[in-house]
């Protein structure tokens, strides 16, 4: 199991993914799930993956090599050649569904799940009108949805434990610093309730202003900021709970 969250607020894009994979309690390992699909002056595109590792690895390989050409040019279709983020989402969806069908066919009759999902976020263009950041959730069948201001986050993987804080604390107008904080609290809540999600966490932050520097880092098992955030959040929840009035019917 894994957990990935993408946020698209007014000030920028935030993507966070854990790195824990497991095939049983005695077979736990680390695998990168936040991938760079494009990193140039003209385009910055990330992908977070959840689900079958064989499917997502195959999808990434297809995208790197290029999907088959649809015209007489013979040129493979790559991320670098797509004119818009919408076209990127379409290409990723096609690669994901192709990988799922191929691997699913070999697993037919087994109990192994070949399903996977992907978050794709970034922008194409540095300063022109078409350079707005966009975020998509790609499903195993290749279809996708786009993140919108009314619901400025998308999740894949083990999402239920981390969703309440996102619902309560995140809006489109949340600052980028606060969005990162909320994302990490969401992960802390998830890790408290599900041992199949864990650190290290990979983080990417792309400000809406191209002049601001991007952030890409890994929060290790002993990262001091995350440890402090986790401890502070637990303490503050206890203090807030104690400040709420006791149920009056308990003293009746």
Question: What is the residue whose two structure tokens read 């077979």?
Answer: 27
Q: Higher-confidence residue: 109 or 182? A: 182
Look at residue 144 and tell me whether its pLDDT is greater than 50. Answer: yes
d(CA 104, CA 119): 21
d(CA 13, CA 32): 19
Under the banding of pLDDT at 50, 70 and 90, the label for residue 130 is very low
Q: What is the pLDDT of residues 177-192, one digit of tens each?
A: 999 999 999 999 999 9
Residue 129: per-residue pLDDT: 44
For the ranges 113-117, 119-123, 126-130, the lowest mean pLDDT is seen at: 126-130
Q: Higher-confidence residue: 193 or 104? A: 193
Q: What are the CA-CA distances from residue 140 to residues 99, 114, 137, 143 (Å)?
A: 9, 9, 10, 8
Mean pLDDT, residues 73-101 taken together = 96
DSSP state of 138: E
Domain range annotation of the chain:
3-243
Q: What is the pLDDT of residues 218-241, one digit of tens each?
A: 999 999 999 999 999 999 999 999
Residues above pLDDT 90, as percent of the chain: 83
The alpha helices in the chain, defined as continuous H runs, are 53-65, 85-106, 163-169, 176-193, 224-243
Under the banding of pLDDT at 50, 70 and 90, the label for residue 108 is confident
- Superfamily classification of domain 3-243: Aminohydrolase, N-terminal nucleophile (Ntn) domain (3.60.20.10)
Q: What are the CA-CA distances from residue 78 to residues 69, 156, 177, 201, 206 (Å)?
A: 10, 24, 33, 28, 22
3-state secondary structure of 92: helix
pTM: 0.94
Average pLDDT, rounded, for the chain: 93
Mean pLDDT, residues 48-68 taken together = 96
């Amino acid at each position: 199991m894994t957990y990935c969250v993408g946020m698209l607020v007014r000030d920028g894009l935030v993507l966070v993914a854990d790195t824990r994979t497991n095939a049983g309690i005695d077979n736990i390992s680390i695998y990168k799930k936040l991938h760079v699909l494009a990193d140039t002056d003209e385009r910055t595109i990330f992908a977070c993956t959840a689900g079958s590792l064989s499917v997502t690895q195959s999808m990434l390989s297809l995208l790197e090599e290029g999907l088959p050409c649809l015209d007489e040019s013979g040129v493979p279709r790559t991320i670098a050649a797509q004119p818009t983020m919408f076209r990127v989402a379409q290409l990723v969806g096609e690669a994901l569904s192709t990988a799922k069908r191929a691997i699913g066919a070999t697993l037919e009759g087994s109990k192994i799940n070949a399903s996977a999902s992907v978050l794709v976020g970034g922008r194409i263009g540095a300063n022109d009108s078409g350079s707005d950041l966009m975020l998509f959730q790609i499903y195993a069948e290749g279809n996708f949805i786009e993140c919108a201001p009314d619901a400025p986050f998308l999740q894949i993987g083990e999402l239920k434990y981390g969703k309440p804080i996102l619902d309560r604390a995140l809006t489109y107008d949340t600052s980028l610093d606060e969005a990162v904080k909320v994302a990490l609290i969401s992960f802390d809540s998830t890790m408290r309730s599900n041992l199949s999600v864990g650190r290290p966490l990979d983080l990417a932050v792309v400000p809406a202003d191209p002049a601001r520097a991007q952030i890409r880092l890994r929060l290790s098992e002993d990262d001091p900021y995350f440890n402090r955030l986790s401890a502070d959040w637990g303490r503050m929840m206890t203090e807030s709970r104690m400040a709420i009035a006791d149920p009056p019917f308990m003293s009746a």
